[in-house]
């Protein structure tokens, strides 16, 4: 990443099904909080919940955004997500292809 170029960021969240993932991705695109959502195949999540071990099939989604929009994205994703306690994680990218970073800057609304 060269000086002055927009920094990229990613956020990840699992969803109960592909339809809810696609619907929320569409909302986030319309609101210009993301440039892209990669809706992945089914994943098996094994986790601790209310003192019990659980396992569920979920759909993972990777959201591409700018570092400046990461916190607003996480907040909005938390509002839209169908889970009471969604597992949403975000991180800033240490590096990115210049064309990708330019695309993010042109697509995501400034925070």
What whole-number distance in Å separates Cα of residue 48 and Cα of residue 89?
17
pLDDT in the model for residue 17: 98
DSSP for 25-50, please give it: HHHHHHTTS-SEEEEEEEEEEEEEET
pTM: 0.93
* Residue 63, CA distances (Å) to 9, 12, 48, 50, 55 in order: 8, 6, 25, 28, 24
Q: What pLDDT, in 10s, does the model give residues 23-53?
A: 999 999 999 999 999 999 999 999 999 999 9
Helices (H), 1-111: 18-30, 70-80, 98-107
Helix axes 18-30, 70-80, angle to 10 degrees: 130
**Residues 53-101 pLDDT 10s:** 999 999 999 999 999 999 999 999 999 999 999 999 999 999 999 999 9
Domains for the chain: give ranges and CATH numbers: 8-94 (3.30.70.120)
- Inter-residue contact 27 to 37 (CB < 8 Å): no
What are the tokens at 59?
A: 């759909």
């Amino acid at each position: 990443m060269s000086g002055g170029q927009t920094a990229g960021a990613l956020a990840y969240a699992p969803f109960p099904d592909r339809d809810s993932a696609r619907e929320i991705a569409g909302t986030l695109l319309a609101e210009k909080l993301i440039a892209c959502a990669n809706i992945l195949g089914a994943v098996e999540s094994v986790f601790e919940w209310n003192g019990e071990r659980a396992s569920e099939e979920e759909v993972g989604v990777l959201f591409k955004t700018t570092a400046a929009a990461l916190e607003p994205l996480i907040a909005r994703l938390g509002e839209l997500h169908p889970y009471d306690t969604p597992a949403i994680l975000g991180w800033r990218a240490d590096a990115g292809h210049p064309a990708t970073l330019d695309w993010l800057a042109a697509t995501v609304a400034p925070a």
